[in-house]
A = this chain, B = another copy of it.
């Protein structure tokens, strides 16, 4: 029976099953058996490709981060067609809000991992948790470009602003996730803050 199989591919399939089932039932409620069932393989196989649950979780986080990074990039690039850096900045921030199933799952699981990371050094060491975040650098750069194009109000510090906006987006995301706030209201808040940073469109063209 054993055809030679691509380990990396198999691991990805299983980790995807992990993400799916954890998104549905919560990361805390997911066991090896659930992942196996969701992936349509035996428990043994999950053990075979990942030796331990911790390794599976770690890989799941990597996958999650990678997939979400791709999603955000795609959205930002798609917004690149629209003229002006604001469209890209908005795309970056809005992509992180839990507006559809995919981003909801992402927010949910990322927060779950963040909570686990508080007591788990191995998780805390993962780049996606630990890093000053590629997103912050990217957003800072976008803000700088807007600044050079004289699109921003004076007195804006690009780096601090980027950090604040991302934190706000994350915080709003959690609010949406737990049902405190609608996606529309979250994006209204974000929009208002962007309005206070960008100079008014009319004034610029006039």
* Distance from A104 Cβ to chain B, minimum over Cβ atoms (Å): 9
Assembly CA distance A167 to B164 (angstroms): 10
Assembly CA distance A161 to B118 (angstroms): 30
Choose the segment among A47-55, A70-78, A126-134 that binds chain B (4+ C-beta atoms closer than 8 Å): A126-134
With A157-B192, A189-B160 known as contacts, the answer to whether A178 contacts B112 (CB < 8 A) is: no
Q: Contact at B118–A115, with CB atoms within 8 Å?
A: no
Question: Which residues from chain B contact A111 at a C-beta distance below 8 Å?
Answer: 111, 114-115, 174
With A177-B114, A179-B130 known as contacts, the answer to whether A160 contacts B172 (CB < 8 A) is: no
Q: Contact at B168–A29, with CB atoms within 8 Å?
A: no
A19-34 vs B: 1/0 string, CB under 8 Å? 0000001111100000
Interface size, chain A (Cβ < 8 Å): 53
Assembly CA distance A111 to B180 (angstroms): 14
Assembly stoichiometry (copies): 2
Assembly CA distance A155 to B195 (angstroms): 9
26 contacts between A and B (CB under 8 A): A28-B28, A111-B174, A112-B115, A114-B174, A114-B177, A124-B179, A131-B180, A132-B180, A157-B192, A160-B193, A161-B192, A163-B172, A163-B181, A163-B185, A163-B189, A164-B189, A164-B192, A167-B168, A167-B169, A167-B170, A167-B175, A167-B186, A168-B168, A168-B171, A171-B171, A196-B197
Residues of A at under 8 Å CB distance from B? 25-29, 108, 111-112, 114-120, 124, 129-133, 153, 155-157, 160-161, 163-164, 166-172, 174-175, 177-181, 185-186, 188-190, 192-193, 195-197
